[in-house]
């Protein structure tokens, strides 16, 4: 004897409903990823503007490209207390 197909479908209905409803648990993750992507795009545009400015001879843009990622030099005479 085969199981009644409508009763099997009716028994599985809560599982797909639960899976579909659980998509809202991922919402904070995706919002955070979108925010991080916006930060990266902003920094990319800032660097692109500096790069294009330096390519066209803007000394300030060139200095921004060269010196912005430098760490301060700590010589032998500098002590962090």
pLDDT surpasses 70 at 5: no
Q: Among 22-26, 38-42, 55-59, which range has the highest average pLDDT?
A: 38-42
Query: In terms of pLDDT, which residue wins out, 69 or 61?
Result: 61
Q: How confident is the model at residue 9 (pLDDT cuts 50, 70, 90)?
A: low
pLDDT given for residue 81 in this prediction:
47
Distance CA 61, CA 39 (A): 21
The better pLDDT of the pair 80, 19 is held by 19
Report helix angle 5-12 to 14-21, nearest 10. Answer: 30
What pLDDT sits at residue 67? 82
Q: Are 49 and 61 in contact (CB under 8 A)?
A: yes
Q: Would you state the structure tokens that stand for residue 51, as one six-digit string?
A: 């790069």
Say if CB 50 and CB 42 are below 8 A apart: no
């Amino acid at each position: 004897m085969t199981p009644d197909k409508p009763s099997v479908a009716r028994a599985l209905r809560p599982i797909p409903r639960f899976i579909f409803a659980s998509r809202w648990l991922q919402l904070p993750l995706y919002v955070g990823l979108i925010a991080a992507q916006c930060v990266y795009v902003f920094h990319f545009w800032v660097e692109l503007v500096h790069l294009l400015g330096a390519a066209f001879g803007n000394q300030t843009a060139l200095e921004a490209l060269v010196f912005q990622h430098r760490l301060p030099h700590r010589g032998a005479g500098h002590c962090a207390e």
